[in-house]
A = this chain, B = another copy of it.
């Protein structure tokens, strides 16, 4: 499924970095999680994330749009309404890597905390 074609791992590493950059920015993954259900209005996304500034939220949404992970739909109504939703690609990222991270932490949280304590004590 994933041949390790490069002897020294450089090619694999570069692919890995490209993928990690999608998750590197603080709020991007959280926006994806927030959109796992229904499409949400901008304000709803902001509330779901807790305390995030308008500027940072806009940047995150633009990145996600630029990478084709979410879609933006604008309705021409009196009170402006815009809805963001996951694309199939965005959903695959949620169901794959993102869920893998969550599952890993759920299964190794105790080990991680123990290791952190041990390292701090030593």
Instruction: Report which A residues bind B (CB closer than 8 A).
Output: 1-2, 8-10, 12-13, 15-20, 23-24, 26, 29-30, 33-34, 36, 48-50, 65-69, 87, 89, 92-93, 96-106, 108-109, 111-112, 114-116, 118-120
Contact = CB atoms under 8 A, between A and B. Distances in A.
Nearest to A2: B103
Given A2-B103, A33-B12, A106-B15, A67 B98 contact: no
Contacts of A68: 111-112, 114-116, 118-119
- Closest 10 A/B residue pairs (Cβ): A68-B115, A100-B100, A19-B105, A19-B101, A96-B104, A97-B101, A97-B100, A66-B119, A97-B104, A16-B102
Nearest to A50: B10
> Quick one: copies of this chain in the complex?
2
23 contacts: A1-B103, A8-B48, A13-B33, A15-B109, A16-B29, A17-B29, A17-B30, A18-B105, A18-B109, A19-B102, A19-B105, A20-B101, A24-B24, A66-B119, A67-B115, A67-B116, A68-B112, A68-B116, A69-B115, A87-B115, A89-B108, A93-B108, A100-B101
